[in-house]
A and B are shown apart, each in its own frame.
Chain A
Amino acid sequence: MPRLDTKDDLSALRTSLAAARSHVRASITVCGGTGCQASGCRAVIAALQQELRAQGYEESVHLRVTGCHGFCEQGPIMVVEPGNIFYCHLAPADMPEIVADTIGRGEIVERLLYTDPVSGNTVRAESEIPFYRAQDRTLLAFNPRIDPRSLADFVAVGGYSALARTLAEYDPEEVIREITASGLRGRGGGGFPTGRKWASCRAAPGDEKYVICNADEGDPGAYMDRSLLEGNPHLVLEGMLIGAYAVGAQHGYIYVRNEYPLAVAHAREAVEQAREFGLLGRDILGSHLSFDVEVARGGGAFVCGESTALMASLEGKVGEPRPKDVHTVEQGLWNKPTTLNNVETWANVPLIMQHGAAWFSQKGTKGSKGTKIFALTGRVKNTGLVEVEMGTPLRTILFDIGGGASDGVAIKAVQTGGPSGGCLPAEQFDLPVDFDTLAQAGSMVGSGGMVVMDEHSCMVDVARYFLKFLQDESCGKCVPCRIGIDRMLEIVTDITEGRGRPEQIDLMEELGETVRETALCALGKTAPNPVLSTLQYFREEYEAHIAQQRCPAGVCRALIEYVIDEEKCTGCGACTRACPRDAIRGEAKKPHAIDAGLCHRCGICAAECRSDAVVVR
């Protein structure tokens, strides 16, 4: 491949790519992301390749294997053009039919279409799917259009032109001014203004500087950074190049979570390609920018995503946070000025430089601009990656995109912001999702996790679950986090197991405040959120556990009782046979009964009973 020495070389490459692709009659896009790989897309792709060859479409149909589209629950998925036809839950055996019918005769294979769980209607076009339609896919829009392993694909959709333009037309200060004016704030959790971070790093004394991309993504259930890096690594690289130019860095690192092999592979490949094309290295695109990037694998702990821990880990030390009285923009990696940004933050940068700060800041709210990707999971009909304009009400995300409650039980709360985010109740669903509003409401945007809970979720148990996660992930260095979380967990466990005392609620609130104020790093500082927010909005559930020894959601095993509804029981004896404790008695064809003393509340009987006669009380 030719080295791109100037901006004009890049445009020439783009033109020649367009010409070379003009003969393509049709295209099939198959998602090859981690989610779809889990549901077997590789076999589907192999079968499809074979079938295209067999039916003679190898040349005229362009098969593109892309990164994640964000609708993994439907995977493996495919989009056929022309027609924008969307097929889901594919199996290798479906391929001959798709190639013969859809490619060959332009007919639709009805049984492979998507059925909207809300309306029950089948949907033909990808663009008509409600899950996608209500989103604003600005960053994710690239994923279905490019093969992440092809620099040419990225260039063909306009890639690296923002870099070329920036290098030719802006000086570093102007870049920082543009990013500042755009209002971009960090997507990694803190929401720190990116322009301000870059300006401090540029101003920090020293010639040797670093930029780092944080792709450690340790929040359970979150995968937006994985999808971006895996599906569009060059966009992230382009952002880092622009950032390096702005702050004056010569070296960069992409720090990728250890459990993301595909993202690591794609990032490495992208770096190698970029070097080949001269987009990394010396005098990039004829400018004075010299910059290279290394891909490093994460230290394997959640806390390694914290900025100072990440840098320690890159230096080969134990990934533990240090106090930040001296900021990393002044003394970061190897004590040199360092700019660390999240994957999604970097991905926004080229778009801002391409379309301008004003274009970016027209979307969003006063303090939060642009779009944000969320990972929607839990008790809604549609789950997946959701990109929306900042300021979109929670309700839109949960109901228009998520399709509402998944099985007829009302949605009670949504937990936003990852393990140390907060739980917001249904009364707050009209809140616009932006950094400041969610923080005010006692939660946070965080990195974009969104877990939906319904009436079957016990909020005390939810708090316990997240505390447990944070206890496991605390590095243990500082007292408030190590001991404070442990004590909060002790108290919450007491409450869920029926040993709670009323004064423990106040104690936990006071302790939570102390941990929030005094912990060393943001893991500890935000760790009380799950407790404090559930205490704020679901206090009555805590009180029910303590005062009435009752778990309203019927989750906490120590506080519930399984009983058999005599009206419904047919006396079939299925429960008796299934019970591991021999706690159920009754004559055949007569109502059975559970001996509460023997029952250890495993719930097996309830699962076995075909008449729904075993109920929780």
Chain B
Amino acid sequence: MTTEAATQQVMTTADGTPLKVSLAKAQRRLKIRALLLVAPLLLFILITFFVPVFDMLFRSVENQIVPEVLENTAPLLLKWDDRDGELPPEEVFAAAKEDFVKGAKAKTILRVGSRMNYEQSGFSSLFRKTARRAKNFESPYKEAFIKADRKWGDLDTWRILKRESGAFTISYYLAAMDLSYGPSGDITMKPKGEAIYLTLFWRTLKLSFLITILCLALAYPISYLMSTLPLKTSNLLMILVLLPFWTSLLVRTTAWIALLQQEGVINDLLVYFGLITDDNRLAMIHNATGTVVAMTHILLPFMVLPLFSVMKTIPPTYMRAAKNLGATPTVAFIRVYFPNTVSGIGAGGILVFIISIGYYITPALVGGVDGTLISNFIAYHMSTSLNWGLAAALGVLLLGIVLVLYYFYDKIVGVDNMKFG
């Protein structure tokens, strides 16, 4: 009796260690093992995914180059009050001279020039010109600067420089949203001709949505068929569905060009059958149609796979039961079958939508002017214009849009409902 009472106070194992302690010890070993097993992947994802994402987030606001190279000018400019309509005091010009001389020697000043050129074109050449002459400037420096280039006498030049003197900037985001600073420093919409990104974002969303809907419309019947056929036949169909995965993306896209172009197979056939006349050939490629057709084809498997795996789990007796209870085949489908596939539609839909929203290569090849998507411009700024800040800002906005959509999806459909297979 006494031993029983004692064990009730602190449960111990046979050798007297408290039960909790030895349980924790046993579990710790399991946890370490699990951690070791996932460690390579964790490290890989950390290095190749999270680090770049955070780097991108950082780059979209980073402006280090200006305060670094203009190390004397920048602090003075930040203190300068530009509201009285006068040029900065002489000490600012003196500091600027010093920075220009040093920057010209270190060859860093031109980078500030191209950075500032994003804010207003002309800065690049202004900086290059000034850097060449700065070492000969004599006091008073204000006059020397203005003599080198009249723009230094323009209040706006200094205002912009002051605005971008900090270590961080929001101007990339403004550019990415087609906004800009007006003459007095207030934020305004860009004029119609210059605004491109909002249209692109909107087009990207619109086309991605259209592609998702088309994929769903094409994938639903085929998935249904595959889920009802015997395994052998459905495997064969599955191979056909997955075939696009086994051929190179470029080959497939080029094949679409061959099919859809003005002198291509489809137009030839339409002309041959007299459905269109020879001089009215349809433009189906190098425009939005081309992007939608080619991307629907490429992304179709991403819709078929989750749909198929969900439909596979729906017992055929559900439909039978519904009919037996008096529902016509249509009603049985709408009220019983369809609701059970929603989780697959959700998974496939979100997969296709998110992939197409960031798709790059196909729109670049077949998109022409009105079929290019936002990622094509991100790529352009990454590799051609080298405006990485803007590319990063566009990327972050895209990420933000996806997250917002995902949030609403979760609210409406519920992410837990999603079944990928």
Q: Do A and B bind each other?
A: no
Q: Which residues of A contact B (CB under 8 A)?
A: none
Q: Which residues of B contact A (CB under 8 A)?
A: none
